[in-house]
């Protein structure tokens, strides 16, 4: 009886983990499907449990054909998860070169910080101390409401330039810059409630650099506004995906320039959407070949994912890359010190299939936003 229970435990655990491992491959934006894209590292560790139980059962009842089948499924699921994770470890080749390996670059460096402060947090002085200690040249703060705007007012004296919008419910964002802003605009790409920052920075020793700060809606987020006297629904990933594709479209239009795109993407580094964003724009992820640098959830070490991102165009090298604790926030901040290098002007073009997939994502995102009555306009 005990051996049967153990065998059924192995069967159920292995089947469930294998199922949710491949579930995100289903072409759907449903939040309960796409959320399984996030815990790939956790699922890889979870496979150790049925593996150990399988070893115990095979020792107890002697190895047989079914043991080999379940072992194969466990190994296949583990390899599948690791195929997503390993590119963000030192065993992989880096996308953004280390600055010290390129002694012939111009030597101009600057520091970027991105931090989701969590709008319900009230540790204003600690965040100000974090900015003072790190002393970044660019600071993007997410979820800036009126209280945070007042609490971070000293940054207006420290930084000569500022752009953004203060909004409640975790929707605000502000960029503080030591560099002049040649161009600046707050755009609403899909949702009329979620701003994005577009700016052109005039960086000494480097020249114009295009900058984008974003914070698209996370899948699984419950609508705060119920419609037609019904309970609020959870959002799927379509609006998020559409916003990322629209940013990709902006980068593609001006591919000859230098670009920095950063923010809380609410998407993991290895997802198909983030990878498509990288392929379309040819922007590089400093995580690749280095480490996961998971940023959320800051208070739950076993449930952390890399969802706060920094992407840079060819022509930047990385002098330093890390994360910093933001007191009271459920996110870590990410910081990067970048140096300038020669830009390769021969940008590879995205395939027609990738362009068509991005177009479909944009159309579906606007449809979803319209259903939730937050659409700004129809896509071009």
Tens digit of each residue's pLDDT (9 = 90 or more) over 201-243: 999 988 899 999 999 999 888 765 544 445 557 778 899 999 9
- CA angle 106–108–112, rounded 5-degree value: 140
The string of pLDDT tens digits covering residues 273-316 is 999 999 999 999 999 999 999 999 999 999 999 999 999 999 89
- Domain-located, residue 130: yes
β-partners of residue 234 are 222
The string of pLDDT tens digits covering residues 28-47 is 778 899 899 999 999 999 99
**More reliable by pLDDT, 362 or 159:** 159
β-partners of residue 259 are 210
Q: Could you tell me if 179 and 142 lie in one domain?
A: yes
pTM: 0.92
Structure tokens belonging to residue 123: 């540790």
- Domain-located, residue 308: yes
- Rounded (10°) CA dihedral 43, 49, 52, 58: -100
Q: Could you tell me if 320 and 171 lie in one domain?
A: yes
β-partners of residue 110 are 338
Q: Could you tell me if 130 and 67 lie in one domain?
A: no
At residue 67, the 3 state secondary structure works out as helix
User: pLDDT value at position 229?
Assistant: 46
**DSSP per-residue codes, 328-361:** T-SBEEEEEEEEE------PPPPPHHHHHHHHHH
Q: Could you tell me if 222 and 288 lie in one domain?
A: yes
pLDDT-derived band at 360, boundaries 50, 70, 90: confident
- Domain-located, residue 97: no
Count of domains forming the chain: 2
User: What mean pLDDT comes out for the span 178-196?
Assistant: 95
The residue range of the domain holding 24 is 1-88
- Domain-located, residue 379: no
DSSP state of 58: H
Q: Could you tell me if 173 and 62 lie in one domain?
A: no
Q: Could you tell me if 12 and 70 lie in one domain?
A: yes
Q: Could you tell me if 210 and 319 lie in one domain?
A: yes
Rounded to the nearest integer, the mean pLDDT of the chain is 91
State residue 30 phi and psi, 5-degree precision.
Answer: -60, 135
> Is 242:213 a contact under the CB 8 Å cutoff?
no
> Is 289:239 a contact under the CB 8 Å cutoff?
no
Q: Could you tell me if 146 and 236 lie in one domain?
A: yes
DSSP state of 29: -
Say which CATH number the domain at 243 has.
3.60.10.10
Q: Could you tell me if 221 and 175 lie in one domain?
A: yes
- Domain-located, residue 96: no
Q: Could you tell me if 188 and 318 lie in one domain?
A: yes
The string of pLDDT tens digits covering residues 238-270 is 999 999 999 999 999 999 999 999 999 999 999
Structure tokens belonging to residue 243: 């916003």
Measure Cα distances from 118 to 25, 93, 123, 172, 309 in Å: 31, 34, 10, 10, 16
Give the burial class of 89: count Cβ atoms within 10 A of its Cβ; 0-12 exposed, 13-18 middle, 19 or more buried: middle
Among 53, 88, 123, residue at a domain's last position: 88
β-partners of residue 176 are 139, 162
- In angstroms, rounded to a whole number, what is the distance separating the alpha carbons of residues 370 and 363? 11
User: What mean pLDDT comes out for the span 51-55?
Assistant: 95
The string of pLDDT tens digits covering residues 70-126 is 999 999 999 999 999 999 999 999 999 998 754 454 458 999 999 999 999 999 999
- Domain-located, residue 10: yes
**More reliable by pLDDT, 129 or 351:** 129
> Is 258:69 a contact under the CB 8 Å cutoff?
no
Q: Could you tell me if 122 and 72 lie in one domain?
A: no
């Amino acid at each position: 009886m005990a051996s049967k229970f153990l065998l059924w435990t192995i069967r159920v655990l292995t089947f469930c983990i294998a199922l949710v491992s491949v579930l995100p491959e289903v072409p759907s934006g449903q939040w309960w499907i796409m959320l399984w894209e996030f815990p790939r590292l956790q699922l890889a560790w979870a496979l150790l449990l049925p593996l150990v139980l399988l070893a115990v059962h095979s020792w107890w009842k002697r190895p047989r054909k079914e043991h080999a089948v379940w072992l194969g499924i466990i190994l296949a699921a583990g390899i599948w998860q690791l195929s997503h994770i390993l590119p963000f470890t030192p065993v992989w080749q880096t996308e953004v070169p280390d600055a010290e390996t390129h002694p012939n670059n111009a030597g101009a460096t600057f520091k970027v910080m991105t931090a989701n402060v969590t709008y319900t947090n009230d540790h204003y002085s600690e965040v100000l101390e974090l900015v003072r200690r790190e002393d970044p040249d660019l600071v993007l703060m997410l979820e800036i409401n009126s209280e945070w705007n007042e609490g971070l007012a000293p940054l207006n004296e420290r930084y000569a330039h500022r752009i953004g919008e203060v909004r409640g419910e975790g929707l605000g964002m502000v960029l503080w810059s030591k560099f002049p802003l040649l161009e600046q605009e707050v755009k609403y790409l899909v949702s009329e409630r979620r701003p994005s920052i577009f700016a052109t920075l005039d960086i000494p020793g480097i020249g114009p650099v295009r900058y984008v700060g974003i914070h698209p809606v996370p899948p699984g987020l419950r609508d705060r506004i119920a419609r037609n006297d019904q309970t609020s629904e959870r959002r799927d990933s379509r609006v998020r995906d559409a916003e990322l594709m629209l940013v990709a479209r902006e980068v593609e239009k001006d591919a000859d320039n230098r670009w920095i795109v950063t923010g809380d993407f609410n998407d993991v580094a290895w997802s198909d959407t983030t990878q498509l964003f990288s392929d379309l724009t040819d922007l590089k992820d400093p995580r690749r070949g280095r480490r996961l640098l998971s940023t959320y959830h800051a208070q739950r070490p076993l449930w952390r994912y890399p969802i706060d991102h920094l992407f840079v165009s060819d022509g930047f090298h990385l002098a330093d890359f890390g994360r910093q604790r933001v007191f009271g926030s459920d996110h870590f901040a990410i910081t990067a010190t970048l140096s300038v290098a020669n830009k390769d002007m021969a940008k590879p073009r995205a395939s027609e299939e990738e362009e068509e997939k991005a177009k479909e994502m944009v159309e579906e995102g606007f449809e979803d936003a319209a259903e939730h009555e937050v659409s700004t306009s129809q896509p071009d």
